[in-house]
Structure 1
């Protein structure tokens, strides 16, 4: 699963460059606040396994007007560091590596 370049942002974690992207429009279940916001991260130069991070907040573009905090670069850097400690190898091909941080999520 490759990350599209359009709308992707660069971030450097421990000297390695990654690209990350938050979906601009929420998925249907995110728009109705049934599921939390997610974003994807991959190695910038040699993409392999994509990291998919599930947050504990609603998507900022939800249809119910529920306030969600923006995903900050510091949040992404922390998620990358955590995933690397848990065994994510971003340059190795494979299924997406999922990092679930949805504890405490309550639907709108």
Structure 2
């Protein structure tokens, strides 16, 4: 399985190039804030196992006002290192490796700083 190149971003972590991407539009469940915000990543130059990361918040474009956060390169870098530590081998073929992060995990990944959630946005 591969993620589309269009709309993806490149990041280099410990000498390896990765491609990461957030889905362009929310699924119905994500739009209703029933499902978590997710992003995917893989090695940029070779086929292998995709990493699917779910965060403990909603997407910024969710239809109902819930807490959200922006996915920044520092979070992507820390998530890659965490997934590698949990057994993700991006060069291995197979099903997607899923990593569900909690609030405590995000605090730990961001060097003890609590996650910076954006204020809920209510559409009128």
By the TM > 0.5 criterion, same fold? Answer: yes
The Cα offsets for residues 7-46 of structure 1, whole Å up to 9 and x where unpaired, read as 0000111110000000121111110000110000000011
TM-score (norm 1): 0.90
Pairing 1:39–2:33 present: no
Tell me the CA shift for residue 91 of structure 1. Answer: 1.1
Kindly indicate whether structure 1 or structure 2 has the higher relative contact order, using CA contacts under 8 Å at least 6 residues apart: 1
* Structure 2: stretches of 5+ with no match in the other structure: 105-119
Query: TM-score scaled by structure 2?
Result: 0.79
| TM-superposed deviation, 1:102 | 4.0
Distance 1:91 1:26 in 2: 28
Q: Between Structure 1 and Structure 2, whose CA radius of gyration is higher?
A: 2
Where does structure 1 differ by over 4 angstroms across 4 or more consecutive aligned residues?
Answer: none
Paired position in structure 1 for 2:64: 64
How many equivalent pairs are there?
Answer: 105
RMSD, matched Cα: 1.5
